[in-house]
Structures are given as structure tokens and as C-alpha cells.
Amino acid sequence: MRKVRHWALIILGVGSLLLGLIGLASLGAYALTTQRQQAITPWQDPTTTVRERSIAPDLALLPLAGVDEAEAISRALLANELETAYSLLVYSASLSDGERAGKWLLLGQRYQESGDVERARLSYRMAADIATLSPFMTDLARAQTLLQAGTGLVAIRAYGDGVLICDQARDVATYSPHLTPAHRQQILQGLQAAYTTLGLGEGKWLELARLVSGSQTRSPQQQEVPTPTIPPLPANDEVRQAEVTRQTATEQMLVVLVPPQREPSRYLLDALTQALLAEDRVKQEAYGDEAIAAADLPTQVALAQARVQWLTLKLSIARQATGLSLVPDWEAQETDIREQLQAAQKTLYELLTLYTEDDRLTLVRQQLLAGRLGLYPDYPEETLLDELQDAQALSVSPLHLQVLTQKNSRLIVLAGKK
């Protein structure tokens, strides 16, 4: 009998030890899972995340045929070619900040619905970066974009990113003097739902709730938002003819690129290649340093902007962002084209500093945003962040940009001055 009790005690002891170990393992796994879910994703250059092999050429080539970029993106979304829409959006050089943010939000929702969580997260973060850095968005558009991006991130369980973005929406809604009580209430309701999902208490939204309940008679201040000031590009017959030739060659290729056909004939491909090379020669002269130096300041700005747009398109072709190899020579020169685009962006902002009446803070934010969008390769982040601090010291805005560092990655966020 004693022997039975002895073995029973041993078995119970071993069982208790195993249960304890299992419990510790479960807690450890839970802690790791929680940490992973709460982590804030570092910034990624979106141009390096394009999946060239998943792009539908019949849609990606539309801008080369003269179709407006926003329209081309809409057509790709309508056809459910999400990777094509992604590529078109990444390399778009003509969309306004508001249009671009809206497209990223829509693309994020579509990726979310398709179950591609990683792509949805990238898209929502891009929309949020635009809302954070753009000097050309109203505070209402900024807050609404941040709220939609933040709630989207929470929905896909990117909790760390979701908190980061929702907190910015909260601060814009709390500190901006330009929102109506109804707008603040709308943002508050969205934030309450998101924070509840995150398991965060009322402390996160209490200040905004108090403001909403006590500001029913307060009138918002009118907001004056700067607008981009790029002068019109002077007419150039050679440039226009080169563009028409390229558009015609692209249209002829699109006639035969009917899905599932994705490879054009060698003849049609060569025709477009030659048209692009000819256009490059014309634009190198028309938008080159000598042409810019010989022009008056407004024309210099226009030419510099046109050069940036052309080099952005050229870089996308060099990276096969149309889903086809259009100009093999450019593919071999990708690094050089990237460096040319960097230099062109630098020149553009130097000229804008001389030309516009925008304050330094506006121009710094433009450059930081272009860098985060991947449109300003190797942008001088350190220098711009130093300039940002100096420019913000002179600003009376109740909202300011903060730089956070996490695992050697910089995060730029909007916060209220307290």
C-alpha cells in the first residue's frame, strides 16, 4: 500500500512539474506573440517591394500610352490586379498628396480583403506617412487618413503600427484648431473602437472626449494650406513629338496584349524600345543642366520638375515595373539612373527654395515625404531632420513632427505640443 502511495506521489510530482513547464512555455510563447504583434514595423523603401513578375503589362503600360496615372491605377484595381496597381502607385510622380493617400488606403483595403496582410500593412503605412508629412493636406483630411490607416492596421492585427498611427489621429483631432466638433466626434468614435480592440483604456481618448463634450459652441479656425507651386512647362515641339511617338508605339502594343497574352511580338517591343530611347535623348537635352541654367527661374523650376518625372519613369522601366523588359540598356544602368534621379531631386528643391514663398518647414516636409515615398533615392535624411528641428522651432502650429528611433530605424510622427 505504501509502495502504491509512493509511486502515486512521484507521478503527481512529475505531473505538476510538467504542467508548470508547459505553463511557463505557454507564457513565453504568449509573450513572444504579444511582442511580435506590438512591434512597430521599420520603414521600407516601397520601390524595393514591387513584385515585377506579378504585374499585368496590359495595365502597367497605360501611362506610357498617355493614360492619366490615377485612371490607370483605378483600372488596375477594377481588374483586381493589385500588384499592378501597387507598382503604378509606387512610381507615380503626378498624383497630389491627397490622391496618393486615398489610393494607398483603397489598395490597403483590397489587400486586406484578399488576405495579403503584409501588403495591406505596407499600403496603410504609406497612407499614414503621407498624412504625417504632407504640408499640403488639411488637418481634417490628415486626421481622417490617419484614422482609416490606423483602424486598418488594427484590423489586420498589426497592433504596434496601429497604435502608432491611431495616436497621431488622436493628437491631430485633439490639438488642431481647424476641426469642427462634429469632425472631432467622428474621429473619437473611430478611435474608441480601435483602442478597445487593442485592449487600451479610456486614458487614450479621454482628453479628446472632454474636448468634444466641451466644444459644442466653439468655431473652428479657417486653415490656410499651402499649395504646390510648379509653373507650367514651356512648349517644346521635339519633346511633344517624342511623347506622341512613344504613346503610339505603346498603343499598338496594347492592342495585342489582351489577357492572358502577356508577351508582345519582338517587332512591337523593339518599336517601343526605340521610341523610349529617342524620347530620352530629346529630354536629356530639353531638361538638362544647360537648358535649366539658360532659363529664367520659373522655367528652371518647371524643367527641373519635368526632369524628375522623366527619371522616375525611366527608373521604373529599368526595374521592369511594367512587367516587361522594355529597355535592357537601362536595366544595366539602374544604379546610374537612380543617382541621376537623386541629383535631379536635389536640384529641384534648391530651385524651389529660391522660387516659392513657402517657409522652410514646408520644403523640408516635401523632401522628407519624397524620400519616404521612394521618389527621392538616398535622400539626405540626417540633414533634413536637423533642418526640421530648426524650422519647427519657429512654427506656431500646435502640431509638430517628432522623430522616434526604434532598432536603428527612424519613425516620424505627428504629436501635439503640450
The type of residue at 236 is: N
Look at residues 180, 198, 213 and tell me which one is the last residue of a structural domain.
Answer: 213
Residue 409's pLDDT band (boundaries 50, 70, 90)? confident
Number of helices (H), then strands (E), belonging to the chain: the values are 18, 2
Instruction: Indicate if the pLDDT at residue 3 is higher than 70.
Output: no
Instruction: Indicate if the pLDDT at residue 61 is higher than 80.
Output: yes
CA distance 249 to 91: 21
In this structure, is residue 231 part of a structural domain? no
Which three cell numbers mark 223? 486653415
- Phi, psi dihedrals of residue 176, rounded to the nearest 5°: -70, 130
Helices 206-213 and 159-175 pack at an angle, to 10 degrees, of 30
Is there a single domain that holds both residue 153 and residue 272?
A: no
169 neighbors 212 (Cβ within 8 angstroms): no
The type of residue at 243 is: E
In this structure, is residue 418 part of a structural domain? no
CA distance 164 to 132: 11
132 neighbors 151 (Cβ within 8 angstroms): no
Is there a single domain that holds both residue 282 and residue 357?
A: yes
Q: What is the per-residue pLDDT for 158?
A: 95
Quick: pLDDT tens for 171-230.
Answer: 999 999 999 999 999 999 999 999 999 998 888 888 888 888 876 556 788 787 778 888
Instruction: Indicate if the pLDDT at residue 57 is higher than 50.
Output: yes
Which three cell numbers mark 105? 488606403
Q: Which range (7-16, 18-27, 81-90, 376-385) has the least confidence?
A: 18-27
In this structure, is residue 1 part of a structural domain? no
Is there a single domain that holds both residue 290 and residue 324?
A: yes
Is there a single domain that holds both residue 208 and residue 245?
A: no
Q: What is the per-residue pLDDT for 216?
A: 55
Range of the domain at 182: 46-213
| Residue 46: DSSP 8-state | G
Is there a single domain that holds both residue 307 and residue 387?
A: yes
In this structure, is residue 24 part of a structural domain? no
The dihedral sign for the CA sequence 347, 348, 349, 351:
positive
Q: What is the per-residue pLDDT for 6?
A: 47
In this structure, is residue 35 part of a structural domain? no
For residue 174, the domain's CATH number is 1.25.40
In this structure, is residue 33 part of a structural domain? no
Quick: pLDDT tens for 134-175.
Answer: 999 999 999 999 999 999 999 999 999 999 999 999 999 999
Residue 258's pLDDT band (boundaries 50, 70, 90)? confident
- Phi, psi dihedrals of residue 416, rounded to the nearest 5°: -85, 145
Is there a single domain that holds both residue 209 and residue 287?
A: no
Is there a single domain that holds both residue 190 and residue 71?
A: yes
Is there a single domain that holds both residue 81 and residue 124?
A: yes
Q: What is the per-residue pLDDT for 118?
A: 96
Is there a single domain that holds both residue 98 and residue 51?
A: yes
Is there a single domain that holds both residue 381 and residue 272?
A: yes
Is there a single domain that holds both residue 135 and residue 284?
A: no
Residue 365 vs residue 359, higher pLDDT: 365
Task: Return the percentage of the chain with pLDDT > 70, whole number.
Answer: 90
> How many structural domains are present in the chain?
2
Quick: pLDDT tens for 263-273.
Answer: 888 999 999 99
| Full-model pTM | 0.89
Quick: pLDDT tens for 93-108.
Answer: 999 999 999 999 999 9
CA distance 320 to 306: 21
Is there a single domain that holds both residue 197 and residue 115?
A: yes
In this structure, is residue 222 part of a structural domain? no
Q: What is the per-residue pLDDT for 278?
A: 98
In this structure, is residue 190 part of a structural domain? yes
